Amino acid sequence: MTHDPIYPALITEALKTVRYPGNGKNLVENDMIEDDIRIDGRKVTFSLIFDKPTDPFMKSVVRAAETAILTYVGADVEIKGNIAVKTRRPVPEKPANPLPGVKNIIGVSSGKGGVGKSTVASNLAVALAAKGYKVGLLDADIFGPSVPKMFGLEDEQLYMEEVDGVNKIVPMEKYGVKLLSIGFVVDKNSAVLWRGGMASNALRQLITDANWGELDYFLIDMPPGTSDIHLTLVQTLPITGVVVVSTPQEVALADARKGIAMFTGDKVNVPILGLVENMAWFTPLQHPEEKYFIFGNGGGVRLAEEMGVDLLAQVPLVADICGNGDAGTPAALGLTADGQPAGPTPQVDAFWNLADNVVNAIDRRNDTLPPTSVVKMNS
């Protein structure tokens, strides 16, 4: 005996006849059918999604769905006991903003350490400030703070001031950027041996107990990898979006891919502004037209296309970037390590272009500019 083939559309049409007692709408209108309908001969399996695990109508709806399929698809369909039930995941609520004077909050993240995330965060902050924006930078890398070193503020002490009757931490300020880091309150020569809860509480204090004032952009230099610190940040702040930093090296790209997946997943649910390919190539300072692809060629470009995110910048590896960071004069300033004007350089151009592309990405997210495809960079 032959049977007409079963298609997912037939199952969906049958389920349109089943109404959910709670509101009178059918299962399709209520978006209760998960996109997992599987058909093996005459055997059909799929899942129904309910808002709560204690839904009083759950059993009756499942029985009604079985009956509808047997009635409208075929009496010989194997459906009894093959309908799974799941609970709908709640959409994470955006946290209230403890920094009402801050317009945009940008995370700078990396899937692994050693890809230059803090260098990118520091230079992005400096470039934005140089363009006239009010900028803050929080070093949230509790166990490896590097911002104090990169801004030449390792030996500075934090102070408190009274604001509206409340004592607030006064952020450091240099190159037009307001700065805070756990590195300002711990011994720079000692390891920070804190459990996760202590680290998260310290981070919340740097955010909520500081007088950040009015800012156009508040950058957060996040710890590398994926950790509870990231959850603390997204639960504490309404983050506008995240910039992910990677090198072209395959092992770094694999970790960057995981980082992007973490931010776009249900638990975090933060938009990706784009990807920065750091150390895209080596360029001798005296011969800026030469390019040597030490860590691979175009890996960041391919990852951006694969993940459907913007490529915000390709930053070359130039000796002065390291020297500037160690000297406390970020390369985006356009100065040499000893503070002299450096003139036009590949790294200055890269960081200033990055600042422009980040601003544009946020504007597009806020619907002030039309959508665009991946930003094309020169290679």
DSSP codes joined into one string, 235-272:
HHS---EEEEEE-SSHHHHHHHHHHHHHHHSTTT---E
Contact 175, 151 (CB under 8 A): yes
pLDDT higher for 172 or 369? 172
**pLDDT over 70 at 152, yes or no:** yes
Do 133 and 29 belong together in one domain? no
Distances (CA, A) of 28 to 13, 44, 54, 202: 9, 17, 21, 47
Please indicate, yes or no, whether residues 246 and 320 belong to a single structural domain of this protein: yes
Supply φ then ψ for residue 335, to 5 degrees: -115, 155
Q: Residue 99's closest CA among 202, 209, 197? A: 209
Among candidate residues 28, 53, 87, the one where a domain is terminated:
87
Residue 67 counted as domain residue? yes
Calpha distance 108→134 (Å, rounded): 17
187 found inside a domain: yes
pLDDT of residue 61: 94
With a cut of 90, say whether residue 365 has pLDDT above it: no
Whether residue 148 sits in one domain with residue 34? no
**Comparing 97-101, 126-130, 272-276, which segment has the lowest mean pLDDT?**
97-101
Q: How confident is the model at residue 371, as a pLDDT?
A: 40
pLDDT for the residue 91: 54
Task: Give 169-184 pLDDT, tens digit per residue.
Answer: 999 999 999 999 888 8
pLDDT at 370: 41
Ranges 10-14, 159-163, 189-193, 281-285, most confident: 10-14
- Residue 90 exposed, middle or buried by CB count within 10 Å (0-12, 13-18, 19+): exposed
Residues 147 and 222 in one domain: yes
d(CA 208, CA 324): 31
Residue 11 · residue 68 · CB < 8 Å: no
Q: What is the pLDDT of residues 299-334, one digit of tens each?
A: 888 888 888 888 998 888 876 666 676 667 788 887
Tokens (6 digits) for 316: 């070359």
Which tokens in the block code for residue 44? 């059909």
Name the pTM for this structure.
0.69
Q: What is the pLDDT of residue 354?
A: 94
The pLDDT value recorded for residue 196 is 59
Residue-wise pLDDT tens digits, 196-252: 567 778 888 888 889 999 999 999 998 876 666 777 787 778 889 999 998 888 777
Beta strands in 51-115, from DSSP E residues, in sequence order: 83-87, 102-110
Please check whether residue 373 lies inside any domain of the structure. no
Both 30 and 107 in one domain: the answer is no
Domain that holds residue 22: 8-87
Q: 238, 237, 149: which is closest to 200 by C-alpha?
A: 237
Residues 82, 148: one domain? Answer: no
* Percent with pLDDT over 90 in the chain: 33
CB 87 within 8 A of CB 52: yes
Residue 40 CB contacts under 8 Å (≥ 6 apart), including other chains = none
29 and 153 share one domain: no
* 92 within domain boundaries: no
Report the pLDDT value the prediction gives residue 191, as an integer from 0 to 100: 60
Residue 14 within any structural domain of the chain: yes
80 and 18 share a domain?
A: yes
In this predicted structure, the answer to whether residue 379 has a pLDDT above a threshold of 80 is no
Domain closes at, from 40, 57, 87:
87
- The pLDDT of residue 376: 34
Dig out the tokens for 17 from the structure.
């006849």
Q: Is 214 helix (H, G, I), strand (E, B) or coil?
A: coil
The pLDDT of residue 348: 85
Most confident region among 98-107, 142-151, 257-266 by mean pLDDT: 98-107
Task: Identify whether residues 68 and 112 lie together within a single domain.
Answer: no
- CA distances to 3, 33, 78, 79, 238 from 74, rounded to whole Å, are 9, 19, 9, 10, 50
Any long-range contacts for 162-166 (C-beta under 8 Å, 24+ apart)? Answer: 163/211
Is residue 87 helix, strand or coil?
Answer: strand
One-letter amino acid for residue 259 of the chain: G
Write down the H helix ranges in the chain: 8-15, 58-72, 117-130, 147-150, 196-208, 228-236, 250-264, 299-307, 319-327, 346-365
In sequence order, the 6+-apart residues with CB closer than 8 A to the CB of 296 are 247, 248, 249, 250
| Same domain? 205 vs 311 | yes
Both 301 and 194 in one domain: the answer is: yes
- pLDDT-derived band at 372, boundaries 50, 70, 90: very low
146 in a domain, yes or no?
A: yes
Please identify, among 87, 119, 153, the residue that sits at the C-terminal boundary of a domain. Answer: 87
Asked whether residue 263 falls in the same domain as residue 340, the answer is: yes
Q: Which two tokens stand for residue 54?
A: 């204690």
CA dihedral sign, ordered 174, 245, 140, 106: positive
Q: Shortest CA distance to 313 belongs to which of 82, 144, 119, 140?
A: 119
Instruction: Name the residue with tokens 């604001």.
Output: 163
Average pLDDT over the chain reads 82
The tally of domains found in the chain comes to: 2
